[in-house]
Structures are given as C-alpha cells and as structure tokens.
Amino acid sequence: MIWVVLAAVLAVAVVIVVALPFLREPAPASDELHALDPAERSLLDAEEARDRALAALQELEADHRAGRISDDDYRAVVGSLRRDAAEALRALDRVSAAGTSDAKAKIH
C-alpha cells in the first residue's frame, strides 16, 4: 500500500512541475514565444561571420609567429583574410544600422 501512495505522491509532484508555468502566470500579458526576426537573424549571422574572420586572422598571425606557416604562405593568405575581416565588419555595421532604424521605426 505504501508503494501505491508513494506512486500517487510522485504523480502529483510531476503534474505540479509540469503545470508550474501556468500556475506562476495564470494570465500573462502575452504568451507568445519570441522567435528571432529576420533582422535579428541577419545580425547573428553577421556577428558569426565577423568572429570567424577575426579568429582566422588571429590564428594565422599566431601560426606565423610560431613558425608553423612560412613567410610565403603567410603573405599569400593574409591579404584575403584581412579583406574578409574588413568586409565582415562592414556587413555587421550595415546590419546593425538597419536593425537600429527598424527598432526606431517600431518605437515611433
């Protein structure tokens, strides 16, 4: 009998845990999940591209300094990596600016 009671207690406990979001907020102002909008996703993509470009440049410098990469190989790659990094930063600026104006438009 004790085991049946324990099973019942367990069942009640999990029902409470599952219902908790509704018990805490019986009538919320909004029940909508916020998904990233296209502008936010573009921003995230641009930030990832920037981090990737800067990390690649940083790693190349470290590899060259440690002697893993020859001067010739370094010179062959560093230019395109710097251009990629600059382009990624410009793209991020563009996306950020567009996001800011979108936000302002929403406020007004």
Partner 1 sequence: MAELGRAALLLTLGLSAYALLVGGYAAWRGRRRLAHSARNALIASFFSTLVAALVLVAGFLRDDFSLAYVADHSSKALPTPYKLSAFWGGQEGSLLLWLLVLTGYAALAVWLARKRARDLVVWVTPVLGGIALGFSWLLVAVSSPFDVIAAPADGSGLNPSLQNPYMVVHPVALYLGYVGLAVPFAFAMGALLSGRTDERWIVATRRWTIVAWTALGIGQLLGAHWAYVEVGWGGYYAWDPVENAALMPWLAATAFLHSVMIQEKRGMLRVWNVTLVSLAFCLSLFGTFLTRSGVVTSIHSFSKSTIGPWFLGFIVVAVVFAIGMIWYRLPQLRTTAKLESLVSREAAFLYNNLLLVALSLTILWGTAWPMVSEAVRGETMVVGRPYFDFFLRIFGLPLLLLMGIGPLVAWRRASLRGLARTFAWPAAVALATGVALIALGAGSSTPGLVAYTFSAFVLASIVHEFARGTAARRALTGEPIPTAFGRLIGRNRRRYGGYVVHAAVVLLAIGIAGSSAYDSVSEGRLAKGESLAVGGYTLTYRSLGEREGPNATEVRAVLDVRRGQKDLGTVKAGKNAYSVEQQVSNEVGIRTDYLTGEDLFVIAEQVNDDGTVFFRIFVKPLVNLIWLAGIVFLLGSVIALWPDAREERRLATRYANARERSDTPATT
Binding mask 18-57 for partner 1 (x = CB under 8 A): xxxxx--x--xxxxxxxxx---xx-xxx-xxx-xx--xx-
How far apart are alpha carbons 65 and 45 in whole angstroms? 30
Told to check if 91 binds partner 1 by CB under 8 A, we report: no
Q: In angstroms, what CA-CA distances link 3 with 10, 16, 30, 83, 89?
A: 10, 20, 42, 69, 63
Question: Is 77 near partner 1 (CB under 8 A)?
Answer: yes
**How many Å apart are CA 27 and CA 20, to the nearest integer?**
13
Chain positions contacting partner 1, by CB under 8 A: 3-4, 6-7, 10-11, 13-14, 17-22, 25, 28-36, 40-41, 43-45, 47-49, 51-52, 55-56, 59-60, 62-63, 65-70, 72-73, 76-77, 80-81
